[in-house]
Structure 1
C-alpha cells in the first residue's frame, strides 16, 4: 500500500509542478519581465531567456510531465492490481483519471495563471532544472519539430492587438480610462490626417501684411492669440506669423508702424499627412504653428502644436483667453449661419 501512495505522489506531484510552471511561463509577458529585471537582474534575465526560447522551455515541461504520467500510471496500475485484483482496475483507473485531471491540470494551471507574478521567480529556476534534466530529449524533440513544421512568419504584435491589450488592462483595473484613451490616441496618430484636427480657414484670425499697429490694436479679438498668421492679398497666401507680444511692444514705440518687420517665416504642410508626422515636424523644427494647404496650394486652415497635444490627450486645452472650445464646430456653425442668411436673402428677393 505504501508503494501505491509513493507512485501516486510522484505522478501527481511532478505533474502538478510541471503544470503550474507552464502556466506561469505562458502568463508572463515581456513588460512584466522587464519590471522584474529592474528589481532582480539575474532572475529577470533568466525569465527573459526562458520566454524567448519558449519551445525549449515548454518541451522540457511536457517531456517531464509525460514521463511522470506514464511511469506513475504504470506503477499505480501494477501495484493496485496486485493489492486489489484485476477486477477493480476500472474503478482505480477512473479515480486516477479524475485525480490527475484536477490535481495535475485544473488546479495548478489556475494557480499559475492567477499568481504568476508571485511565482515567477521560483518558476524560472524550476524550469532551468527541468531543461537540464531533459536536455537530450529536448534536442531530439526540437529537431523533429523543425522538420515537420514551418517557421512562423507572423512575428510581433499588431496595432489592433496593442489596442485590445490596453482595453483588457483597463477592464482589469490596472490603468484608468484616460490612460487607455491616450494609448488608443497614440496608436491612431499615424493613420489620422491633420485635416481632421486643424483650425478651418473660416475661423482663422489673420492680419494683412500692411496693417498698421494702430489698426491692429482696434481689432477685436487680437488679445486672444499668442501667434497671428500674416497674409498678403488673400488668406491663400499666408507669408508668415507674428507674435502678438511683439506687436504690443512695437505699439509702445511707434503706433503708426507696420508689422512687416515683425513677420517670421511659417512652414506649410499638406492636409493629408498623418498627425504623427506633423507632431514630429513640430518637434524637429521647434515650431508651434503650420499653415495647412490642400493639393492645389490653397489654405485649408492652420495647425498648432496644441492641436496635436489635444489629440494625443483626447481633450481640449483652454486657457483664460479662450472663448471657444472647438474651433471646427465654430466653423461649421458659422457656415450654417451664413447659408441661412443667404437663403433668407433669396427668399426676400423672390
Structure 2
C-alpha cells in the first residue's frame, strides 16, 4: 500500500495526516495563526490610533489621572521610538505568519519542493489575510476610535518599548542620520515648477486663491527695489516748513506717516506720524514740531522683502527708506506694499481708483504708467518675469525697460518691439517717459 507521502493527490494527503495524528498539529497551527492575525490587527491599528490623536486629546491625556491615558502621553513623548517599536512588532508578527504558512505548506505537500498551484494559492490566501485583517480593517477602525484604541494598547506597548529599546534605538539613530543627510542635500524645486503646480490645481481653487498662493511662492524671491515706491513717487515734507504748513501738508496728502527731509530727499531727518500731531493742533505756527520726529529706518535696494517683513515685525515699524549704493534715497517701502505682494492691491477710502498704474484697453492692449514696476507689469500681462531678465538691466520699471531696449529716450509716438510685446510711447517729455501703451501680439500670447 502506498504511503501518504507518495499519494499524488494533496487532498488525500491532508486526510491521511489528520487521521494519523496530524489533526492536532493543524488545529494548533490554525489557532496560533489566528492569534498572530489578531496581534497584527492590534499592532497595525495602534499605529493609526496613536498618530491620529488630536491636540485636545493629547492635552487631556497629559492632564489626566488615568494610568492608561498617562501611558499614552508618555509613549507619544518619544514618537520616533514608539513608531520603531510598532514597526518591529508588526514585522515580527507578519514574519511569523508567513513562516507558519510555509511550514503548513510543507506538511500538506509532504516535502519542501513546490507543489505549484497549491503554494501559489496558500500564498495568496495568507497575503489577503494579512492585508485585509491585519492592515485595512484595524486602521479604519482605529481611525474612528483612536483614543480608546490607544488606551487599550498603552500597557502592551509600554512593555514592548522596554523590550525592544536597543533595536528601536538603532533604527531611530539610523533614520536620524538619513534625515540629516537628506536635509543637507535639500530639494531642488524651482519657483517656476511651483507656479506650474498652482496653475494645474483643481477647479475647486478660485483664481483669487491661486493668485494669493503664487504671491506666497514668489514672496521670497522679490527684492525691495522691485516693490518699493520710486523716489519720484515719494511724498515728503521739508523740515523748513512751519507747524501750520506741516499740518496742511499731512491733511492734503492723506498719509499717516510722512518722511521729513532737509534740503533734498537724500537727507531724510526722520518720519513724522500724523497721530503725534493731534495733541498740538491748537499750537501756533512757531510750535517746534521737529521734536515729534521718529527715527528713519534705512535699508538697501537689494534686501529681500520676506526678510524686511520680519524686521518690520521685530522693530514695530511700518515704513523704511530705501537707499542706493551711494547712500542716496532711491525709494520708500511700507508694510502695506509688502502685504500687497501676497493678497493683491489694498485700497482704502483715500486711494484714488485712477492710481492703479494701468488701464486695460482690451485683452491684448494696456496703457501703463511708465513708473509701474516690472513686477506689477508681469502680473497684469501674465508674463513670466524671467523673459525680461536678459534685457531689463538694472531697471525695475516699465519706463526703465524701454530705455534699456531703445538705448535713448524715445519721443511721443515712438514704437519699440521686443518679442511679442509692442511698446508705444503715449506721453513723454525731454526728461522722462510718463505713459506707455503695450500691445501683446494675439498670435503669440
What is the TM-score when the length of structure 2 is the normalising length?
A: 0.56
Please tell me the root mean square deviation across aligned C-alpha atoms, in Å.
5.3
CA contact (8 A) 1:200 1:327 kept: no
How far the C-alpha of 1:302 sits from its partner, in A, is 1.8
Instruction: Please tell me whether residue 7 in structure 1 is matched to residue 29 in structure 2.
Output: yes
Greater share of residues in helix: 1
Whole-angstrom CA distance in 2 between matches of 1:37 and 1:187: 33
Whole-angstrom CA distance in 1 between matches of 2:133 and 2:334: 56
Change (3 A) 1:211 1:264: same
Change (3 A) 1:281 1:348: closer
Greater share of residues in strand: 2
Structure 1 residue runs of 5 or longer lacking an equivalent are none
Change (3 A) 1:141 1:250: closer
Show the 5 A alignment for 1:247-286: 252-255=282-285, 260-286=290-316
Structure 2 residue runs of 5 or longer lacking an equivalent are 1-17, 63-69, 359-367, 374-396, 404-408, 415-427, 431-445
Instruction: Please tell me whether residue 294 in structure 1 is matched to residue 324 in structure 2.
Output: yes
List per-residue Cα deviations over 1:149-186 (Å, max 9, x = no partner): 9942337697989x99xx99xx89xx999899888877
Whole-angstrom CA distance in 2 between matches of 1:66 and 1:113: 20
Show the 5 A alignment for 1:1-350: 4=26, 7-8=29-30, 10-11=32-33, 14-15=36-37, 17-18=39-40, 21-22=43-44, 25=47, 34=55, 36-41=57-62, 42=70, 43-75=72-104, 77-78=106-107, 80-81=108-109, 90-105=116-131, 108-111=134-137, 117-118=143-144, 120-121=146-147, 122=149, 126=153, 129=156, 132=159, 138=164, 151-152=177-178, 153-154=180-181, 192-213=222-243, 215=245, 222-245=252-275, 252-255=282-285, 260-311=290-341, 314-323=343-352, 332-333=371-372, 343-344=411-412
CA contact (8 A) 1:216 1:222 kept: no
Q: Which has the higher contact order (CA 8 A, sep 6+)?
A: 1
CA contact (8 A) 1:241 1:264 kept: yes
How far the C-alpha of 1:189 sits from its partner, in A, is 6.0
